[in-house]
Amino acid sequence: MTTYAEYQTGEPVVDGKAPSGPVGERWDTRRFEAKLVNPANRRKHTVIVVGTGLAGGSAGATLAEQGYHVVQFCYQDSPRRAHSIAAQGGINAAKNYRNDGDSIHRLFYDTVKGGDFRARESNVHRLAQISVEIIDQCVAQGVPFAREYGGLLDTRSFGGVQVSRTFYARGQTGQQLLLGAYQALSRQIAAGNVEMHARTEMLDLIVIDGRARGIVARDLVTGRIDTYFADAVVLASGGYGNVFYLSTNAMNSNATAIWRAHRRGAYFANPCFTQIHPTCIPRTGDHQSKLTLMSESLRNDGRIWVPKAKGDTRPAGQIPEDERDYYLERIYPSFGNLVPRDIASRAAKNVCDEGRGVGPGGQGVYLDFADAIKRMGRGAVEAKYGNLFDMYQRITDEDPYEVPMRIYPAVHYTMGGLWVDYDLQTTIPGLFAIGEANFSDHGANRLGASALMQGLADGYFVLPSTINDYLARNPHHEDVTVDHPVVQEVRAETEDRLNLLLSVDGDRTPDSFHREVGELMWEFCGMARTDSGLRKALERIPQIREEFWRRIKVPGTGEEFNQSLEKANRVVDYLELAELMCLDALHRAESCGGHFREESQTADGEAARKDDEFAYAAAWEFTSTGSAPVLHKEDLVFEYVHPTQRSYA
């Protein structure tokens, strides 16, 4: 018997959709080559969209505007609540309104480099091109971006770049962009072009004759399980950061949609690429249910430090200047506190591991605004960061105007996701993945203010163009009905799974298992990973899974509003996904971006990438639960941005 870690390597996976030719022309070429659907025929096509965040909301609205019949789902009570809403900082666009040397090419370059050379050049360039149109679109929808006194849009510089290309709406950019997409979607719902199912969660994918033809979903209010059919299915269900239990994700964000699609044949790419955000509020105790992010923009004016001496428990104010270590400024003099997220996070972990961390448990570093307040005055600091300071004070009961904030890294974003080609189509024909749900354009590390850009680029512009090609080439399928044997089978499997969860009647809650696997992942597949640690995790996960099915307790029935059942069913998928993440992290014996392998570092402790061995995206094919998956490599070719060791010193 082979163990899970003894995976096979299959045929390489090839992105057959990106045209060749100059990178700046590929998107135009693809749009021209893609077949179109006659406007009169679009009404006859149904497209399912799962999720209503920036990607899903914008895609649903745009597809409906084009004339498609859209059936859309979200687990929240309203499409307005998807977790894109929590993004604080901003959205990048290569508008060059500041005349500071920005361009599409520079945004492209920064993103490929920021992603540590693990993203596709074609995709990233397209993203940079579209970034410009996104801002136009959002302004036209009434998104209230920050403006200058002259009435023009304001921008700021953001995490890891040296130009001011980030558009923002105070600390609530995600909310405002999402409301824009939600309003566009609402218009289409009112027009009858989108059939919206809120409080309805996708539980499985229906694949017939090798094509995605529908989903199984549960009405979370009545518990009713239904099947929905379409000509194409779009997953916009977000990332899987909640596998770590504690993360900045929303409590109900989950991996079920993408994991079930993966089980039905969609490859899962780079699952180990997770982003640990450096500026989160440290946890206070075991009761902690989630972590709260403090916008990265705070690093523009705040200075990060720890005491020079180990175990220094004096209050921050009593530590003299020469006994403080402003470690980011010391190690990375040219970028200082503004180094990319992965680097800032790892540096924080290092100083805490050295025993120099601050706050309860030594799991924190100071983010100090004393200098900024001295330089700019308290009023200016308040105007810029007031809402964030208030939020910090509310959560910690400490006044950041008086004492430095304490921050610690936390899981924030997952760069990995379903493998998609240039058309954003997965390896299952007719199944598309957009936004954080796909393995995305961010490579091994996402730059600040790029997630909103990607979600909206996918939803407003890319998918609505590329899906035409699929639908045009596959115009006539037999209608699927509930009687189809595959439909019956998938539906029965879903019902069986839920019934099993309800019938175990053990002695542990869904949350306790979620916490256990999350802590395991944080320890062994978190900020720093080792061969031995990952092997330990791979040994432990199947045991937790086995225990789960023996001891889980879910009260109530399936025919009612049952939040414990929802949770338990999500944990089922985390317990499988966690295993794949660890395997991917184990197989990638290099450090790159958010993935840091302790065995692979330079002499001065920086991440050492191994381009000759790992310049590929790892796309995993599911076999069966607990069995080794098959690895398919997609080789990454860099024609324009040549891989170099990232340097922010």
Partner 1 sequence: MKLTLRVWRQKNADADGAMSTYEVDGISTDMSFLEMLDTLNEELILRGEDPVAFDHDCREGICGACSLVINGDAHGPERTTTCQLHMRSFQDGDTIDIEPWRASAFPVIKDLVVDRSAFDRIIQAGGYITAPTGAAPEAHATPVPKPDADFAFENAECIGCGACVAACPNGAAMLFTSAKVNHLNVLPQGAPERETRVLDMVAQMDDEGFGGCTLAGECATACPKGIPLVSITSMNKEWLRATRKVAKR
Considering only residues 119-138, where is the footprint of partner 1 by CB under 8 A? Answer: 133, 135-138
Choose between 252 and 474: whose C-beta lies nearer to partner 1. Answer: 252
- Residue 285 interacts with partner 1 (CB under 8 A): yes or no: yes
Using the contact rule CB under 8 A, the part of the chain among 82-90, 492-500, 518-526, 640-648 near partner 1 is 82-90
Q: How far is the CB of 485 from partner 1 (least distance, A)?
A: 34
Three-class secondary structure of residue 546 per DSSP? helix
Q: Which of residues 83-122 bind partner 1 (CB under 8 A)?
A: 83, 85-86, 95, 97
Q: Which of 460, 548, 616, 622 binds partner 1 (CB under 8 A)?
A: 460
Which of 341, 346, 545, 646 is labelled catalytic? 341
Using the contact rule CB under 8 A, the part of the chain among 60-68, 270-278, 331-339, 351-359 near partner 1 is 60-68
Binding string, residues 555-584; x marks residues near partner 1 by CB under 8 A: xx---xx-xx--------------------
Choose between 119 and 298: whose C-beta lies nearer to partner 1. Answer: 298
Q: Which of residues 210-249 bind partner 1 (CB under 8 A)?
A: 221, 248
Exposure on the CB side of residue 157, measured as CA atoms within 13 A: 18
Query: Please, are residues 432 and 235 in contact by the beta-carbon 8 Å criterion?
Result: yes
Q: Which of 445, 359, 581, 427 is nearest to 112 (CA)?
A: 445
Rounded distance between C-alpha atoms, residue 54 and residue 29, angstroms? 26
Choose between 143 and 444: whose C-beta lies nearer to partner 1. Answer: 143
Choose between 80 and 218: whose C-beta lies nearer to partner 1. Answer: 80
For tokens 């730059």, the residue is 447
Q: What is the DSSP letter of 573?
A: H
Q: Which of 29, 46, 252, 350 binds partner 1 (CB under 8 A)?
A: 252
Q: How far is the CB of 554 from partner 1 (least distance, A)?
A: 8
Q: Which of 289, 499, 645, 647 binds partner 1 (CB under 8 A)?
A: 289
Rounded distance between C-alpha atoms, residue 8 and residue 62, angstroms? 41
Rounded distance between C-alpha atoms, residue 642 and residue 117, angstroms? 8
- Residue 32 interacts with partner 1 (CB under 8 A): yes or no: no
Choose between 448 and 459: whose C-beta lies nearer to partner 1. Answer: 459
Q: How far is the CB of 506 from partner 1 (least distance, A)?
A: 10
Choose between 189 and 586: whose C-beta lies nearer to partner 1. Answer: 189
Using the contact rule CB under 8 A, the part of the chain among 78-86, 270-278, 431-439, 523-531 near partner 1 is 78-86
Three-class secondary structure of residue 174 per DSSP? helix
Residue 41 belongs to what H/E stretch?
helix 39-42
One DSSP character per residue, 429-469 reads: TTEEE-GGGB--S-TTSPPTT-HHHHHHIIIIIIHHHHHHH
- Residue 58 interacts with partner 1 (CB under 8 A): yes or no: yes
Number of chain residues interacting with partner 1 (CB under 8 A) = 84
Q: Which of residues 593-632 bind partner 1 (CB under 8 A)?
A: none
Rounded distance between C-alpha atoms, residue 384 and residue 297, angstroms? 10
Rounded distance between C-alpha atoms, residue 403 and residue 585, angstroms? 38
Rounded distance between C-alpha atoms, residue 200 and residue 222, angstroms? 10
Using the contact rule CB under 8 A, the part of the chain among 98-106, 417-425, 479-487, 548-556 near partner 1 is 548-556
C-alpha torsion sign, points 446, 451, 453, 456: positive
- Residue 393 interacts with partner 1 (CB under 8 A): yes or no: no
Query: Please, are residues 247 and 274 in contact by the beta-carbon 8 Å criterion?
Result: no
**Quick one: residue 505, left, alpha or beta (phi over 0 = left, psi -120 to 50 = alpha)?**
left
- Residue 284 interacts with partner 1 (CB under 8 A): yes or no: yes
Query: Please, are residues 605 and 292 in contact by the beta-carbon 8 Å criterion?
Result: no
Choose between 37 and 135: whose C-beta lies nearer to partner 1. Answer: 135
Q: Which of residues 492-531 bind partner 1 (CB under 8 A)?
A: 507, 509, 511-512
Query: Please, are residues 405 and 392 in contact by the beta-carbon 8 Å criterion?
Result: yes
Q: Which of 83, 89, 187 is nearest to 437 (CA)?
A: 83
Q: Which of residues 148-187 bind partner 1 (CB under 8 A)?
A: 148-153, 169-170, 172, 174-176, 179, 182-184, 186-187
Question: How many CB atoms sit inside 10 A of residue 22's CB?
Answer: 11
Binding string, residues 322-361; x marks residues near partner 1 by CB under 8 A: ----------------------------------------
Choose between 52 and 270: whose C-beta lies nearer to partner 1. Answer: 52
- Residue 69 interacts with partner 1 (CB under 8 A): yes or no: no
For tokens 């705070």, the residue is 298
Q: Which of 62, 123, 166, 466 binds partner 1 (CB under 8 A)?
A: 62
**Quick one: residue 37, left, alpha or beta (phi over 0 = left, psi -120 to 50 = alpha)?**
beta
Q: CB under 8 Å to 540, separation ≥6 — which residues? A: 520
Query: Please, are residues 406 and 282 in contact by the beta-carbon 8 Å criterion?
Result: yes
Choose between 88 and 445: whose C-beta lies nearer to partner 1. Answer: 88
Three-class secondary structure of residue 202 per DSSP? strand
Using the contact rule CB under 8 A, the part of the chain among 74-82, 235-243, 436-444, 591-599 near partner 1 is 74-82
Query: Please, are residues 366 and 305 in contact by the beta-carbon 8 Å criterion?
Result: yes
Q: How far is the CB of 289 from partner 1 (least distance, A)?
A: 5
Q: How far is the CB of 259 from partner 1 (least distance, A)?
A: 20
- Which CA distances in Å does 168 have to 128, 135, 288, 362, 522? 17, 10, 30, 34, 31
In our burial notation (b when 16+ CB lie closer than 10 A, e otherwise), range 396-416 reads beeebeebbbbbbbbbbbbbb
Q: How far is the CB of 392 from partner 1 (least distance, A)?
A: 11
Question: How many CB atoms sit inside 10 A of residue 153's CB?
Answer: 15
Q: For residue 330, indicate whether it is catalytic.
A: no
Binding string, residues 297-326; x marks residues near partner 1 by CB under 8 A: ------------------------------
Choose between 85 and 580: whose C-beta lies nearer to partner 1. Answer: 85
- Residue 391 interacts with partner 1 (CB under 8 A): yes or no: yes
- Catalytic residue numbers read 341
